[in-house]
Amino acid sequence: MKTSAGILILLFFSIAGPALSEPEYTRLREKMVREQIQDRGITDPRIIKAFLGVKRHLFVRPEYRDQAYGDFPLPIEEGQTISQPYIVAIMTYVIAPAYKKKVLEIGTGSGYQAAILAELVREVYTIEIKVKLAQSSKKLLTDLDYRNITFKTGDGYLGWKEYSPFDGIIVTCAPDHIPPPLIEQLATGGRMVIPISYSSTVQDLILIEKLPDGKLKKTDLIPVQFVPLIRSRNGR
């Protein structure tokens, strides 16, 4: 995800800062959790523990590691971004993660959101359309010994029918409508959080709940600005 404020901030930080020590990273991570997540109303102990445990600086490019815990998005490879911490937190929070659940992520990106989810739920299935990003995030998450994440390189619009239904779906890129395959693959009682792009400048984060009768309940959450959802040429 990227915001106008985030882009402006990055203009001031185009030169990499000095490498930090692990205690310094820990201090910054604790400050991030306290000021950006807890102070904004997300206090679920399991979610807080996950954000304290996942080392966000490992998921950003080396030249931005000293900024990894700032309240803004950062660029990653392939012209994509890692969302600001609060956005990752609210998307995680609204799908009501529980250990027994199975979650699908559309847009692996850096792998940070997948790592947070892996701390909270039984199974994470994550799809990335950009081959280099898919390879690098899979390597990192594997090296970090996450064993409950299953990876796929492909068109996230189509979801992952083989492993559906999913208790939760998190979409980290913005289509201009809700992909029908994702609705079909959402379990009854499940929740999907997705940014919908209404124009080049207007996006809203939407919570979709599939009710017992199969109907959908939609709730507008907050304005956001995510990178667009990319489709494969052959739609596969």
Measure the CA–CA gap between 113 and 85, rounded to whole angstroms: 9
Measure the CA–CA gap between 217 and 207, rounded to whole angstroms: 8
Q: Which of 83, 110, 137, 197 is catalytic?
A: 83
Q: How far is CA 143 from CA 111, 207, 234, in A?
A: 12, 32, 32
Measure the CA–CA gap between 47 and 93, rounded to whole angstroms: 7
φ/ψ (deg, to 5) at 174: -110, 110
- Is 4 noted as a catalytic residue in this protein? no
Catalytic residue list: 83
